[in-house]
Structure 1
Amino acid sequence: MALIVLQLSSATAQQYPARPITLIVPFAPGGPVDTIARPVAASMGKPLKQAVVIENVGGAGGNIGVARAAKAAPDGYTILIHHMGMSTSPALYKKLDFDPLADFEYIGLIGDSTSMLLARRDFPSKDLKDFIAYVKANKDKLSFASTGPAGGPPCALLFMNAIKTELLEVVFKSSALGMTELIAGRVDMMCDSVLTATPHVKAGKVKAIGATSKYRSPALPDLPTLDEQGLPGFELTNWMGLYAPKNAPRAATERLVAALQVSLSDPQLLAVLDKLYFKV
Structure 2
Amino acid sequence: METYSFPTGCGLQPAHEETPVNRSPKFLSRRGLMLALAALPLLAHAQAYPSKPVTLVVGYAPGGTTDIVARMAAQSLSTATGKTFIVENKGGGSTTIATGHVAKAAPDGYTLLANEMTQTIVPSLFPKLPFDPIRDLAPVTVFAEAPYVLVVNSNVPAKNLRELVALAKAQPGKLNFASGGAGSGPHIAGELLKSVAGIEMTHVAYKGSGPAVQDLLGGQVEVLITAAPTVAAQMASGRMRPLAVAHTKRLSSLPNVPTAAEAGFPEFRIANWFGLAAPKGTSPEVVGYLHAEVQKMIKRPDVREKLLAAGAEPVSMTPAEATRHLETEAQRWGALIQKAQIKVD
TM-score range, shorter chain: 0.7 to 0.9
Q: Given that residues 145 and 188 in structure 1 are in contact (C-alpha distance below 8 angstroms), is that contact kept between their aligned partners in structure 2? A: no
Q: Given that residues 186 and 224 in structure 2 are in contact (C-alpha distance below 8 angstroms), is that contact kept between their aligned partners in structure 1?
A: no
Match of residue 199 from structure 1:
233
Map of 1:116-265 to 2, 5 A cutoff? Answer: 116-132=149-165, 134-135=167-168, 137=171, 139=173, 142-149=176-183, 151=185, 154-161=188-195, 162-173=197-208, 175=209, 178-183=212-217, 185=219, 187-231=221-265, 233-265=267-299
CA offsets per residue over residues 89-122 of structure 1, 9 Å max, x none?
A: 4345433343244311221120323210122344
3-state SS of paired residue (1:209):
strand
Distance 1:205 1:4, change over 3 A: farther
User: Contact conserved, 1:24 with 1:65, CA < 8 A, in 2?
Assistant: yes
| Distance in 1 between residues matched to 2:87 and 2:62, nearest whole Å | 10
Please, what is the CA RMSD of the aligned residues?
3.4
> Which has the larger displacement, 11-20 or 255-264?
11-20
After superposition, give the CA deviation of every residue in 1:205-250 in whole Å (9 maximum; x if it has no partner). 5321211112222322222223433545422233322101112355
- 8 Å Cα contact 2:179/2:186 also seen in 1: no
**Are the structure 2 counterparts of residues 249 and 172 from structure 1 closer, same or farther at C-alpha, using a change threshold of 3 Å?**
farther
Partner of 1:19: 52
Q: Does 1:279 align with 2:307?
A: no
Measure, in 1, the Cα distance between the counterparts of 2:205 and 2:103.
27
Q: Which runs of 5+ in 1 are unaligned?
A: none
Structure 1 counterpart of 2:302: 268
How far, CA to CA, are the matches of 2:213 and 2:89 in structure 1?
18
> Following the alignment from structure 2 to structure 1, what is the Cα–Cα distance between the partners of residues 162 and 236?
22
Aligned length in residues: 278
TM-score, structure 1 length as denominator?
A: 0.80
Structure 1 match to 2:13: none
Taking the aligned partners of 2:148 and 2:175, their CA distance within structure 1 comes to 24
C-alpha change, 1:237 and 1:102, in structure 2 (3 Å) is closer
Whether the aligned pair in 2 keeps the contact of 1:82 and 1:241 (CA below 8 Å) is: yes
Q: Secondary structure at the match of 2:115?
A: strand
- Worse-superposed segment, 88-97 or 206-215: 88-97
Aligned residue for 1:113?
A: 146
1:75-101 deviations in whole A, cap 9, x for unaligned?
Answer: 322111222333344345433343244
Identify if the C-alpha distance between structure 1 residues 138 and 80 changes in structure 2 by more than 3 Å, giving closer, same or farther.
same
Which stretch of structure 1 is more off in the superposition, 150-159 or 42-51? 150-159
Larger Rg: 2
Counterparts of 1:206 and 1:117 in 2: how far apart (Å)? 10
The letter for the 2-side match of 1:29 is: P
> Greater CA deviation, 139-148 or 266-275?
139-148
Contact kept, 8 Å, 1:125 with 1:131, in 2: the verdict is yes
List gaps (5 residues or longer) in structure 2.
1-35, 316-345
Tell me how far 1:184 sits from its aligned partner.
Answer: 5.3
The answer on whether the counterparts of 1:30 and 1:176 sit within 8 Å (CA) in structure 2 is no
Identity of aligned residues (%): 29
| Contact 2:119-2:134 within 8 A present in 1 as well | no
Residue 170 of structure 1, CA deviation: 0.7
- For residues 88-107 of structure 1, what are the structure 2 equivalents within 5 Å? 88-107=121-140
What TM-score does the superposition give when structure 2 sets the normalisation length? 0.67
One-letter code aligned to 1:164: I
Please point out which of 63, 73, 76 is paired with 2:109.
76
Which deviates more, 25-34 or 38-47? 25-34
CA separation of 1:209/1:28 partners in 2, compared to 1, >3 Å: closer, same or farther?
farther
1:66 to 74, 80, 99: 99
Task: With a CA cutoff of 8 Å and minimum separation of 6, indicate the structure with the bigger relative contact order.
Answer: 1
Relative to structure 1, the CA distance from residue 94 to residue 258 in structure 2 (aligned partners, 3 Å threshold; closer, same or farther) is same
The verdict on how the C-alpha distance between 1:196 and 1:73 changes in structure 2, with shifts beyond 3 A counting, is same
